[in-house]
Structure formats: structure tokens, C-alpha cells
Structure 1
């Protein structure tokens, strides 16, 4: 880290972390280079590819690389998965077009979950005050959750059963069951289901 005493104005200098010395991301791979490269090709051809229209084929390829995916999952095109061997999806869930699961740590998605278009799930961050080393934390999304379009779900998040995340929200931490959250940061705005309601 550059700790120069002062900048040109005489003000105390703000440190700069040397990125060439930052620890690499390979610590998160959990597989040999050959497997990671083979997955990169398979992802491009069969998962991200918008011309590949078969959800079943997409699911089969993800399973072949270690993803645990239940029955009846609908998995749309233009999606990305960083490491399928760190992904679990329960039965009858829907993964929308353009979803990016950047799972350097475990991502667990329950049954009957909807992850809508262009949502980004990321388990990684960096030690931004030290050396930019990779820091990861898992994401858990329980049964019945709906994460709507263009949301961001950060590492360490647990979203409780049958909750709903409104569009463009940024979720970090715990969301209680049956709760609607919205905003950046996402905060509770009420229950999803109410007794006697529709």
C-alpha cells in the first residue's frame, strides 16, 4: 500500500492499495483450472447463449458441472453462473432471463422461488482497507420467495420463506419470512400475505 506522507496540495495523502499485489481469486475456484475453463466454454454455449432455447438442456449442463437443481426448474437464457458446483436450486423454481449468479461462495435457492430478469446475486467482496483480498459469504433464499427484476442480493443475505423483494432493491442481511422489502438498502414495507387478503 502506498502511504506517501502528503499529496501535491500538502494535504495528508490517501493510501492506494497496489492491485498487482492483491491476492488472486483462485482461492474461490474449488476446482482445477481445466474444470473452470471447461465450464466457461459450456456456460457460453449452453447457458448464457440466447439462441439456446431449451431450459432442460441448460439445467442438464449445469448439473453436469455439479449444480444441484431440483425437478421442474425453468432456467431462462442469457444467464450466468460463476461456479455451478456452488449452486443449489429446489423444485419448481424459475430463473429469469439475464440473471447473474456470481457465486464465489454457496448460493442456495429453495423451491417455488422466482428470481426475475437481470437480478444479480453476488457472494464476493474485497478487503478494501487492507489488500483487496477476496471475502465471500453465502446467500440463502428460502422457499416461495420472489426476487423481482433488477435486484442485487449481496453475500451473507438470508431471505425468509415467501418474502418479496421489489424491483431495483439491494438486499443485505436477513429478511424475515412473509415480508416485502424495497429500496437501497432494502427495508421492510409490510407483509406479503395477510390473513383474509388476496
Structure 2
């Protein structure tokens, strides 16, 4: 008979929550009512609330549309970065986003995943997105990845390995297409 994983045995693996129940509940309400609210087109308010809950957000960042952030205390964003509609930052571990980065509509960044073996323990690892990166629409960026400076990830790509700087990458799995700049 084919094996089935008993999900009741799945553990937290290397994930450690570093916030209390009140903070988690307060963020859940604020995120649902304001940060992820399509009727609230106020970028500065979203940035201020993310900062209030521990995110480090640089100058001139644009959060014009609804966005989801699991743990703002695990988020760093440089200056002049833009976030498209329906971006989901599922950050059980730190996600660092550089300056002048564009993360387009529907992109999902996750710093955690479950083991594929029998115990299905949760494993978390940081994501680093360096300066000048453009992640186009509906991409998936997985745990432990670094995306190099000035790289472009084309639509619907799945990034599960780190990408060197100044390239254009795309697909599932993500592959090198060409250099971004001629010189």
C-alpha cells in the first residue's frame, strides 16, 4: 500500500515565532482591515503601519495597492521600491529587499516551506533581493534565495535557487535567458 504522510506529526522545524499572541492578533486585524484593503489606496499609511509593527522601510517606497505581509518584523525594504497589487510576503524568516526594486502584481515571496519527507517539518530561510531587481507579475520566490543586483525575473517564474546579478531569468524552473544590459 502507498504511504501517506500523517500531518498530525508535522512539526515547526526550525521556525521560531518571536512575537507574542497579542502582537500577532493586532497585526492580523490591522493587515486585514487596512494593509490588505483594496479600498485604502494610501501608500504612506501602509508603510507607517508596517513600520509600527517592526518593518524597516526606506524612503519613497510605494504600497499603493493591497499587500499581504505575514510578519512585518521580518521585513527590510530599501529606498524607492514599489509593490504591485496582490503581492504576498509570507516571511517567517527575514526578507530583505533592496533599493529601487519593483515587485509586480501577484508575486508570492515565501521564506518557509515544509520538508518533503515523512515529518513535513517547517523549514525557514531568509530571502535577499538586491538593489535594482524587477520581479515581474505572478512570480514565486522561495526560501533561501538571493536575487542579484539589477536582475529581472519574467512573469510566472518560480525561483528556487539564487540568481546572479544583471541577468534576465524566467520559467519553471527559472533559467537564464540573457544579460540585462548590453555592456
TM range (shorter): over 0.9
Alpha-carbon displacement from aligned partner over 1:167-192 (angstroms, at most 9, x marks no partner) = 00001111111000010011001111
1:151 and 2:139 are equivalent in the alignment: yes
Question: 1:18 deviation in Å?
Answer: 1.5
Q: Give the superposed CA RMSD.
A: 1.4
Matching residue of 2:148: 160
2: CA distance, partners of 1:78 / 1:184: 26
Match of 2:110 among 122, 133, 152: 122
Match of 2:20 among 9, 24, 32: 32
Question: 1:21 deviation in Å?
Answer: 2.5
1:123 touches 1:137 (CA, 8 Å); kept in 2? yes
Matching residue of 2:55: 67
Secondary structure at 1:180 match in 2 = strand
Matching residue of 1:183: 171
Bigger relative CO (Cα 8 Å, ≥ 6 apart)? 2
Q: Taking structure 1 as reference, are residues 26 and 48 closer, same or farther at Cα in structure 2, changes over 3 Å only?
A: farther
2: CA distance, partners of 1:191 / 1:36: 42
Which of structures 1 and 2 has the bigger CA Rg? 1
1:132 and 2:120 are equivalent in the alignment: yes
Which of structure 1's runs of 4+ aligned residues deviate more than 3 A? 24-28
1:29 touches 1:83 (CA, 8 Å); kept in 2? no
Question: 1:47 deviation in Å?
Answer: 0.6
1:110 and 2:98 are equivalent in the alignment: yes
Q: Which moved more, 1:37-46 or 1:20-29?
A: 20-29
Q: Taking structure 1 as reference, are residues 25 and 53 closer, same or farther at Cα in structure 2, changes over 3 Å only?
A: farther
Q: Which moved more, 1:124-133 or 1:138-147?
A: 124-133
Q: Which moved more, 1:139-148 or 1:170-179?
A: 170-179
2: CA distance, partners of 1:64 / 1:189: 40
1: CA distance, partners of 2:179 / 2:145: 19
Question: 1:27 deviation in Å?
Answer: 4.0
